[in-house]
Amino acid sequence: MSGSLDGGARRADEADVVPVPSESRTGRRRLPRTGEGGDAQVIALTPAAERVPGMQSLRQRRRELQEHIAEGKLDAVRRQHSLGKLTARERLALLLDEDSFVELEPYRRHRSSGPGLAGNRPYTDGVVTGSGTVDGRRVFVYAQDFTLFGGSLGEAHAAKIHKILDLAIANGAPVIGLNDSGGARIQEGVLALNGYGGIFRRQVEASGVIPQISVILGPCAGGAAYSPALADFTFMVRDTARMYLTGPDVVEAVTGRRVSHEELGGADVHGTHSGVATVVHDDEEDCLADVRYLISLLPSNYLEPAPATARTGAADDYRPRLAEIVPPSPNQPYDMREVFAEVADDGEFFEVHAGWARNVLCALARIDGRVVGLVGNQPVVLAGVLDGPAAQKAARFVRFCDAFGIPLVSLVDVPGFLPGVEQERSGIIRQGAQLLHAYCEATVPRIQVILRKAYGGAYIVMDSRSIGCDLSLAWPTNEIAVMGAEGAVNVLYRRDLAAAADPAALRARLVAEYTEEYLNPQYSAERGLVDDIIDPADTRAAIARGLAMLQDKRKPGPSRKHGNLPI
């Protein structure tokens, strides 16, 4: 590179020289200027001691510097590619619409003189920040650059992310963070920690105001891991992404157990066990394409509706396959994903936490062009019971949909909460209360559809009429009760069964009587707890009509600072 913007020491060529007016070579000119009293004043001009670079030269220097910044360190870029990872700019090119990215602060550099930093001050300071569009809609982005200081966060690096978060909040647009960082920059000490604190505070301020998406494409260690945990959606890529508070070396030193990066904080760990990862992908290209799809389902902020598409005629859509998917027997399993596909437009839905707490499903979809949140029990996993992780998973999803004005549709087929000593000790009461709290405080349109069984407290927390759902529909196969018929008979007639000459025959007769009396489909409808009993094939149409009826719902929350979620 022949020159730099901040240096300016290079002499310009003759073609780049700006001519100095001959009059100025005298050192004085008389220019008419209105002053006090209206007399002309004498203005002294500095003689042109040196030739001044022209605009052509300045533009050339700027282009060269921009190319140098965009090119990066070639050996570091090659190492990044050898790890199966794209560079920050390559990722942004995949994520954003073509030629839409406007970079901010590309010339920012650190001011530290710590070991290894003095004289090593690359532009961008290891993070590329700016704004662009996804399908024409504005988003703000930052992409950490692992080729510079390992993407570590220092004062200048953090300040750039702070600015992006501030701009996203001020403009009411989603923010997307592409994380690939070794963590805090040790040489900058407390300034790095202060930078993280500023990020976290802004993320909390943005919570429920704009959608926040974190994409983990490399390491995300130490305090940095809290940023994805605070986001609404976290994507991870297998084999390259890893996220943990303390690395393998610390774990081994403290516990004596040797563990790999992947075993400790890989994508499958967080997608299956911890629940930190919302979506897991095999490669960066598919991951970033999925982020684009998610953006198409989200509103830009809490004051705007989610983007709608053309109506699909769902209000008159008859789906007979629904009656084939769901067996009439309450104990026979089926895949609730197939029900989601029949209910959603074009059979498409965006499932979150697919690998974690699989006994409940949560997904974004469209019904008749409108974005909705689908929550459903999954009978093929633990018979669809609710346990602690399932309750937490559904609660967070319900709260997200409520924060951003997305209607909720709950498809219920639940035998109850999972019993057991471990469940009680792990806090299932508290965790179940989180789901209960989430539904109770939700003010968006809420529709409940009971497909088969809905027993006990699990029926209540799955958005029953008693906790505020707007429209409750049920199939003819519905069974709403404190518990199933056999369990109820065993409790109510324990002594009679013990004294009976033929307990099995007596039990069969009592179960049939209890089912006829209390589990018949009309029981709840006659008491106003179900609005209508519908044909399974009419489910999609009934939901679409219900959403149209409730689209103008307005229900302000109570006057208070905030509730106290049982977390």
Catalogue the active-site residues: 222-223, 457-458
Of 366, 405, 361, nearest to 379 by C-alpha is: 361
Q: Which two tokens stand for residue 562?
A: 């905030």
Measured CA to CA in angstroms, residue 425 lies from 159, 421, 436 at distances of: 43, 6, 19
Residue 293 CB partners (closer than 8 Å, separation 6+): 350
Alpha carbons 61 and 65: distance in angstroms, whole number:
6
Q: Dump the DSSP string for 281-344.
A: ESSHHHHHHHHHHHHTTS-SSTTSPPPP-----GGG---THHHHHS-SSTTS---HHHHHHHHS
Alpha carbons 204 and 73: distance in angstroms, whole number:
35
Alpha carbons 313 and 323: distance in angstroms, whole number:
20
Q: What's the number of CA atoms in the CB half-sphere (13 Å) around residue 93?
A: 6
Chain centre distance of CA 246: 24
Q: Which two tokens stand for residue 505?
A: 């025959």
Work out whether the CA dihedral 108, 110, 116, 120 comes out positive or negative: positive
481 neighbors 455 (Cβ within 8 angstroms): yes
What DSSP state is assigned to residue 393? H
What DSSP state is assigned to residue 121? -
Q: Dump the DSSP string for 240-278.
A: T-EEESS-HHHHHHHH-----HHHHHBHHIIIIII---S
Alpha carbons 408 and 365: distance in angstroms, whole number:
10
Q: What's the number of CA atoms in the CB half-sphere (13 Å) around residue 438?
A: 24
Please state, as a whole number, how many other Cβ atoms lie within 10 Å of the Cβ of residue 14: 6
Q: What H or E segment, with its residue span, contains residue 220?
A: strand 212-221
Alpha carbons 359 and 429: distance in angstroms, whole number:
17
Helix (H, G, I), strand (E, B) or coil at 26: helix
Length of the chain, please?
567
